[in-house]
Chain A
């Protein structure tokens, strides 16, 4: 029995020993940065810096094994401390250009390059050569199999030619040839970008691509000085953190009404140029709400077309752009074009002769379509049976580089001083064609030849732009040409509304396009009253997706045609219920006449054509209603109210005499609806309390439609009475990252029963008086800086506060320069402080600057000042 039990135990432990690691493999223990470079051969990275997950107990040998996918040769075992990297199997061909300072030591060397698949390892090119590894900038003195990963480690494999690492600046075996800079932080930052799912979007941000390219230059320079490395890292960080320009052309009305118009006129999109793919693409990329099943039914119709025609799309025999257009639309929906009813639509783009049959448009849109989701290009021979390309040869195979080269070859006046731009025919740059080429080439601008063509094409577009900001093509100034230019510029990270190359006499392409807008939605092909004026389908399609492209650019989203985001599932956050909450002091002085404010707020406000808002509050007998005021955010109406002492209910209506829509401005929630000022009618015992609550609150559209009813289940405020009422609210606690120390906590303390503005201290700490918070609360409110561990019970005790002789310091939120005017200087002061160009050190300064009432002083505070200044948005710290 005992033996049997032990056997079972042994089997069980064996099973678990295999299962254990399997469970452990499910979740990485962290991420490390790994790169493989051959800078000593003058040829950059074999494996660019990337973030690699590692699992508990993994060594760098095991991590490298996973990264290189076995494409190396080693001695020893990858699983223990005997591992030694002998050779790497080249993932690409290399040319060799050994830096002169190394050749000065070695003498002339054979610098023959190697092909992809050949090996590079010890003793190649010189007798001292081989692979070395650093972990966290230290050349490790043992096997990579004996060094275990920690989260955030940086591991760099480097090929040494001379001196067993002397040419890498290592003192491992001999004197280093130079002082080696620490490039780990820069390598890690580049790895972060390379591993980001939105890498293209990051690189499209203004300034990021150039900083990223500069990083590669520095990383490839063996003898780069530390100052250069640090400078490039700072520039890259700054570019990544930079926000898109706060100013832009407001296109919201034009875009939303046009998309609504498209929905209305295309109730059932189907395969085709009009009423088909472009409509779907515009709506999908805009994230515009569509009727249930709108996109699913469209996809169903597409599947039918594809399967009924055995994959051969109508009109596609000489126009492979039919496939490109469809692939683009499907990508906008996150639909995989490699399996549509069992057919791989990308296969029809695998033959160069087929794609280029219709001229430059073919390769341009093939490239755009394939890049919407990084599609691999199918083998032209393997898919010939499906595509019908029965005479195809291997030489017909489309590659992205072939498409690019085809396009580059068609640059107008290529190779001359006048080169620049593209056209279907002739030597005058056409705005539509030039723009579409730029859209296709944008992801490849790191190629020097492509970059040159792009620069010249952008110059050409600037040169042919009209003074009204628009473009003419085929003899007419039209919306479509402008639309294509907008899509192109945003794909390149150029703001079409502000870049000085595209602002002509105060007009830019975006404002020019808006002139073609037709009131109610839609765009005209040309202006005026002749043929082509009025809403035009093609103009509407192209203008719509151009505005979507611009909108995405301003909001820092993926460009129009980088649709990888459509394939990433992101759950929409659940819609905030429109529930009502009450805010006010939890405790007031129990003396007759004590006044205070109760704020009625909503967590959401529905969209609709509401004409009237009404409701009632339950007011305890202890209070009288002194005033009810509508919030500045409510608009379109006026408030009237009445308190009936008999039933203790305060009733109110917010509406207008002409039954125009009422609404709420701004986008931050909870949003204030009403301020109710109450006063205590008589002295109250300290042991008692009274509760104010909302009995109901609705929005009404018309008499025969159901009202929208706010959720009032949480809308209650209990007010306790004491000798000196103390009510405490949390404001913020610093996290030590941006100017607010980690141990600095700010709370708002509201008192009733003390003179306004009196000097107060709490256990020796001075309180700062806030006239703005006082006006809002209806009772004297101060801000106290304390420690995170100070108990709420202590803060609530009136006896812990002491009146001082001198008046309290006063805070004016946002007024950084203390001149009683909040304007651009204050916003700039916040940015300057965040950039550490000026200092913020005192409690009063912290309070003045941190208008968002979060853990940091940063650009959010500056943006809050902008919104406050321009649109009257309330500073967040006042609504805490």
Chain B
């Protein structure tokens, strides 16, 4: 007899309650297996990690030489103090010219006093000439006081103060209609003090920060 058929027609499985229990047990077993796989892969952390998204701009006309802004959007900022952040992005230096970084909307602490807390929108340091030589732009914000001018939760607000910075590009004359250029995050970190040890920094290298790249479409 077909073993499956015999199993199906067994007295045990004829009982509805038993079938329900068996199905539930099976689902639980599967969930445990999946969770173990996820945990072993560290994907749980990755699953719930904040994300950094390079927002793809609208398609650009091939003869357009205006600035193309690529906003760097952060999904969330846990309530910690982040005195430093950096972003490495690869781009096609033969098709795109990197012009520099522009201020976003996320704020750091400013020159606060005991009476008043003020905020700044910082400008990240970048080197357009070096980036255009190498095809990789590296930009960094560094609060050398170690916290007085750090990014903080109060300087972040979804939809209003969530753009970390803006990257400015321009099409080169070699751009062709129909081409698509990747703007790829190769490394990103929003760092806390001792954050590598405590895993409190948001970092792609630690998988505590997800990163989504952008594309520039030429039309």
Q: A831-B83, A837-B146 are in contact. Are A870 and B193 (CB under 8 A)?
A: no
Question: Is B145 interfacial (CB-CB < 8 Å)?
Answer: yes
Q: Are B110 and A500 in contact (CB under 8 A)?
A: yes
Q: Which residues of A contact B166 (CB under 8 A)?
A: 506
Q: Which residues of B contact A247 (CB under 8 A)?
A: 122-125, 141-142
Q: Which residues of A contact B127 (CB under 8 A)?
A: 870-872
Question: Is A629 interfacial (CB-CB < 8 Å)?
Answer: no
Q: Are A823 and B126 in contact (CB under 8 A)?
A: no
Q: Quick one: closest A residue to B137, CB to CB?
A: A870
Q: Which of B8-16, B29-37, B195-203 contacts A (4 or more CB under 8 A)?
A: B195-203
Question: Is A817 interfacial (CB-CB < 8 Å)?
Answer: yes
Q: Which of B100, B120, B146 contacts A831 (CB 8 A)?
A: B146
Q: Are B196 and A870 in contact (CB under 8 A)?
A: no
Q: Which residues of A contact B189 (CB under 8 A)?
A: 823-825
Interface range for B: 35 or more
Q: Quick one: closest B residue to A455, CB to CB?
A: B116
Q: Which of B118, B129, B134, B191 contacts A499 (CB 8 A)?
A: B118
The minimal Cβ–Cβ distance linking A805 to chain B, given in whole angstroms, is 31
Q: Which of B103, B107, B141 contacts A824 (CB 8 A)?
A: B141
Q: A837-B193, A870-B130 are in contact. Are A245 and B149 (CB under 8 A)?
A: yes
The minimal Cβ–Cβ distance linking A511 to chain B, given in whole angstroms, is 8
Question: Is A835 interfacial (CB-CB < 8 Å)?
Answer: yes
Question: Is A78 interfacial (CB-CB < 8 Å)?
Answer: no
Question: Is A243 interfacial (CB-CB < 8 Å)?
Answer: yes
Q: Are B195 and A207 in contact (CB under 8 A)?
A: no
Question: Is B138 interfacial (CB-CB < 8 Å)?
Answer: yes
Choose among A210, A249, A831 the residue with the greatest number of B CB atoms under 10 Å from its CB: A831
Question: Is A250 interfacial (CB-CB < 8 Å)?
Answer: yes
Taking CB atoms and an 8 Å cut-off, the chain A residues in 854-880 that contact chain B are 859, 862-863, 866, 869-872
Q: Are A870 and B205 in contact (CB under 8 A)?
A: no
Q: Are B103 and A246 in contact (CB under 8 A)?
A: no
Q: A824-B142, A827-B142 are in contact. Are A245 and B100 (CB under 8 A)?
A: no
Q: Which residues of A contact B192 (CB under 8 A)?
A: 828
Q: Which of A499, A828, A866 contacts B146 (CB 8 A)?
A: A828
Q: How far is the CA of A518 from the CA of B146 in the complex (A)?
A: 39
Q: Are A869 and B86 in contact (CB under 8 A)?
A: yes
Q: How far is the CA of A498 from the CA of B109 in the complex (A)?
A: 11
Q: How far is the CA of A248 from the CA of B189 in the complex (A)?
A: 20
Q: Are A859 and B144 in contact (CB under 8 A)?
A: yes
Q: Quick one: closest B residue to A249, CB to CB?
A: B123
Q: How far is the CA of A503 from the CA of B196 in the complex (A)?
A: 32
Question: Is A665 interfacial (CB-CB < 8 Å)?
Answer: yes
Q: Are B122 and A245 in contact (CB under 8 A)?
A: yes
Q: Which of B83, B88, B111, B142 contacts A206 (CB 8 A)?
A: B111
Q: Are A870 and B125 in contact (CB under 8 A)?
A: yes
Q: How far is the CA of A819 from the CA of B86 in the complex (A)?
A: 15
Q: Are A863 and B144 in contact (CB under 8 A)?
A: yes
Question: Is B104 interfacial (CB-CB < 8 Å)?
Answer: yes
Q: Are B84 and A500 in contact (CB under 8 A)?
A: no
Q: Are A825 and B84 in contact (CB under 8 A)?
A: yes
Q: Are A210 and B113 in contact (CB under 8 A)?
A: yes
Interface string of B81-116 (1 = CB under 8 A from A): 001111010000000000010111101001101000
Question: Is A238 interfacial (CB-CB < 8 Å)?
Answer: yes
The minimal Cβ–Cβ distance linking A668 to chain B, given in whole angstroms, is 15
Q: A498-B123, A871-B130 are in contact. Are A828 and B148 (CB under 8 A)?
A: no
Q: A823-B88, A831-B83 are in contact. Are A243 and B144 (CB under 8 A)?
A: yes
Question: Is B187 interfacial (CB-CB < 8 Å)?
Answer: yes
Question: Is B119 interfacial (CB-CB < 8 Å)?
Answer: yes
Q: Quick one: closest A residue to B88, CB to CB?
A: A823
Q: A207-B111, A506-B166 are in contact. Are A823 and B120 (CB under 8 A)?
A: no
Q: How far is the CA of A493 from the CA of B100 in the complex (A)?
A: 26
The minimal Cβ–Cβ distance linking B110 to chain A, given in whole angstroms, is 6
Q: Are A506 and B125 in contact (CB under 8 A)?
A: no
Q: Which of A507, A508, A838, A869 contacts B140 (CB 8 A)?
A: A869
Q: How far is the CA of A285 from the CA of B124 in the complex (A)?
A: 27
Q: Which residues of A contact B3 (CB under 8 A)?
A: none
Q: Are A499 and B205 in contact (CB under 8 A)?
A: no
Q: Are B104 and A832 in contact (CB under 8 A)?
A: no
Question: Is B121 interfacial (CB-CB < 8 Å)?
Answer: yes
Q: Quick one: closest B residue to A250, CB to CB?
A: B100
Q: Are B142 and A866 in contact (CB under 8 A)?
A: yes
Choose among A508, A823, A834 the residue with the greatest number of B CB atoms under 10 Å from its CB: A823
Q: Which residues of A contact B201 (CB under 8 A)?
A: 825
Q: Quick one: closest A residue to B193, CB to CB?
A: A832
Q: How far is the CA of A731 from the CA of B138 in the complex (A)?
A: 28
Choose among B139, B140, B149, B187 the residue with the greatest number of A CB atoms under 10 Å from its CB: B140
Q: A508-B103, A824-B84, A838-B193 are in contact. Are A866 and B140 (CB under 8 A)?
A: yes
Q: Are B121 and A246 in contact (CB under 8 A)?
A: no
Q: Quick one: closest A residue to B113, CB to CB?
A: A210
Question: Is A821 interfacial (CB-CB < 8 Å)?
Answer: yes
The minimal Cβ–Cβ distance linking A401 to chain B, given in whole angstroms, is 26
Q: Which residues of A contact B107 (CB under 8 A)?
A: 500
Q: A498-B121, A500-B119, A859-B144 are in contact. Are A825 and B113 (CB under 8 A)?
A: no
The minimal Cβ–Cβ distance linking A459 to chain B, given in whole angstroms, is 12
Q: A238-B145, A500-B121, A872-B130 are in contact. Are A823 and B139 (CB under 8 A)?
A: no
Q: How far is the CA of A500 from the CA of B205 in the complex (A)?
A: 31
Q: Are A824 and B86 in contact (CB under 8 A)?
A: yes
Q: Which residues of B contact A837 (CB under 8 A)?
A: 146, 193-194
Q: Are A831 and B144 in contact (CB under 8 A)?
A: yes
Q: Which of B100, B102, B134, B190 contacts A872 (CB 8 A)?
A: B134
Taking CB atoms and an 8 Å cut-off, the chain A residues in 464-509 that contact chain B are 493-495, 497-501, 503, 506-508
Q: How far is the CA of A108 from the CA of B143 in the complex (A)?
A: 53
Taking CB atoms and an 8 Å cut-off, the chain A residues in 82-98 that contact chain B are none
The minimal Cβ–Cβ distance linking B16 to chain A, given in whole angstroms, is 55
Question: Is B64 interfacial (CB-CB < 8 Å)?
Answer: no
Question: Is B18 interfacial (CB-CB < 8 Å)?
Answer: no
Q: Quick one: closest B residue to A834, CB to CB?
A: B146
Q: How far is the CA of A818 from the CA of B130 in the complex (A)?
A: 25
Q: Which of B88, B133, B145, B203 contacts A825 (CB 8 A)?
A: B203
Question: Is A266 interfacial (CB-CB < 8 Å)?
Answer: no
Q: Are B144 and A498 in contact (CB under 8 A)?
A: no
Q: Quick one: closest A residue to B155, CB to CB?
A: A500
Interface string of A634-669 (1 = CB under 8 A from B): 010000000000000000000000000000010000
Interface string of B136-163 (1 = CB under 8 A from A): 0011111111101100000000000000
Taking CB atoms and an 8 Å cut-off, the chain A residues in 761-780 that contact chain B are none
Q: How far is the CA of A835 from the CA of B192 in the complex (A)?
A: 14
Q: Which residues of A contact B139 (CB under 8 A)?
A: 870
Q: How far is the CA of A870 from the CA of B127 in the complex (A)?
A: 6
Q: Are A870 and B123 in contact (CB under 8 A)?
A: no
The minimal Cβ–Cβ distance linking A563 to chain B, given in whole angstroms, is 25
Choose among B125, B134, B197 the residue with the greatest number of A CB atoms under 10 Å from its CB: B125
Q: Which residues of A contact B129 (CB under 8 A)?
A: 665
Question: Is A411 interfacial (CB-CB < 8 Å)?
Answer: no
Q: A247-B123, A828-B193 are in contact. Are A870 and B138 (CB under 8 A)?
A: yes
Q: Which residues of A contact B110 (CB under 8 A)?
A: 498-500
Q: Are A819 and B196 in contact (CB under 8 A)?
A: yes
Q: Which residues of B contact A859 (CB under 8 A)?
A: 144
What are some 13 contacts across the A-B interface (CB < 8 A)? Answer: A246-B140, A248-B123, A499-B111, A499-B118, A499-B120, A635-B133, A665-B129, A823-B191, A825-B203, A835-B146, A838-B193, A870-B126, A870-B127
> Residues of B at under 8 Å CB distance from A?
83-86, 88, 100, 102-105, 107, 110-111, 113, 118-127, 129-130, 133-134, 138-146, 148-149, 166, 187, 189-197, 201, 203, 205-206
Q: Which 3 A-B pairs have the closest CB atoms?
A: A817-B196, A824-B86, A824-B84
> Residues of A at under 8 Å CB distance from B?
206-207, 210, 238, 242-243, 245-250, 493-495, 497-501, 503, 506-508, 511, 635, 665, 816-819, 821, 823-825, 827-829, 831-832, 834-835, 837-838, 859, 862-863, 866, 869-872
Known: A665-B129, A824-B190. 5 other contacts (CB 8 A): A247-B124, A500-B121, A816-B196, A824-B140, A838-B193
